[in-house]
Amino acid sequence: MRIVKDLKKLRFLLDEARRQGKTIGFVPTMGYVHEGHLGLARLAKKEMALSVVSIYVNPAQFGPKEDFKRYPRDFKRDSSLLKKENVDILFVPSDNDVYPQGYLTYIDVEEISQGLCGAFRPGHFRGVATVVAKLLNLLGPCTMYLGAKDAQQVAVLKVLVKDLNFPVKVRVMPTVREPDGLAMSSRNVHLSAIGRREAQTLYIALKAAKKAILRGERSSATIIRMIKSIIGSQTNGKIQYIACVDVNTLKALKRLKGHILIALAVFFDKTRLIDNISVRIHESN
Ligand code: AMP
């Protein structure tokens, strides 16, 4: 695995790979690597001739009161885990290369960035869209690999790719979970022992909601009440939002139909966790 920090070096290596007709798979991450990231890297490695993973904790996607400084970082551990997967290139850009002095250009993917997490993290998806657009321009991958855990990010980036004609395919992988169901996340390391135990309830509540829908429940309000009551009765978590939306448009649904995403964000102390589950309703009414 080559660790590349320099933009010119990166361009040289990727231009060379393209000249040789190699396909390039790209996995953008913020590091503190876990099995969710490694699954994406493994798939990129399997499907493409050249796999590139980036690690960049993007300041533009954190609000002024958010956890940019506290975000976990461990480059040594990350690079050794990625090396074990035989990732070809680990790209680690510097702040100065991503946002050099005088940087002025940002990308807003409208509407779809506004609800769910976007409603509580103003500017977050603007930061995500901007950095991913830059990385796509720098790397020119054939396929970008994303995780379903960040469902709104997936929806926003699919629109970005379509609207700005990036010649890249987006592949989405299912959420990788701990044995008790907690979605893997770099932020899980910040959970207290009690928070960690309670956090498994998020997926338990999402699964119960999915079951209720598959049994015929069609009221979004009832589903949201149900999840609230499970989390409220079994944890000290502070719910930020619970929503039932259309999987592609992220528009809120009152009556559940089609392909639905149930998404939530809950704080355990200072640690904000997100999770989601999707449900497909097969019926004509
Ligand atoms: P992050 O480092 O948290 O920005 O995540 C980098 C990529 O890994 C994103 O596409 C995430 O959706 C994906 N990812 C993060 N956690 C998981 C997980 N538990 N399962 C699958 N993909 C994940």
Read off the pLDDT band of 283 (50, 70, 90).
confident
Q: How far apart are CA 48 and CA 52, in angstroms?
A: 10
Most informative mutation of 26, 30, 34, 37 for ligand 1 (most atoms within 8 A of CB)? 37
Give the tens place of pLDDT for each residue, 62-71: 999 999 999 9
Architecture of domain 2-173: 3-Layer(aba) Sandwich (3.40)
What is the homologous superfamily of the domain 186-279 according to CATH? Pantoate-beta-alanine ligase, C-terminal domain (3.30.1300.10)
HSE-up of 112 (CA within 13 Å, CB side)? 20
Tell whether the model's pLDDT for residue 284 goes beyond 70: no
Distance of CA 169 to the CA centre of its chain: 16
Over 80: is that where the pLDDT of 148 sits? yes
Rounded mean pLDDT, 72-84: 98
Q: Residue ranges of the domains in the chain?
A: 2-173, 186-279
Please say if 259 is a catalytic residue.
Answer: no
Among 27, 32, 40, residue to substitute to test ligand 1 (most atoms within 8 Å of Cβ)? 40
For the cut 60, the answer to whether the pLDDT of residue 285 exceeds it is: no
In angstroms, what is the span from residue 19 Cα to ligand 1's centroid? 30
Q: What is the pLDDT of residues 157-197, one digit of tens each?
A: 999 999 999 999 999 999 999 999 999 999 999 999 999 99
Q: What integer pLDDT is reported at residue 131 of this predicted model?
A: 98
Residue 282 pLDDT: 87
CA distance 243 to 247: 11
Over residues 22-35, mean pLDDT: 98
**Assessment of whether the complete model's pTM goes beyond 0.95:** yes
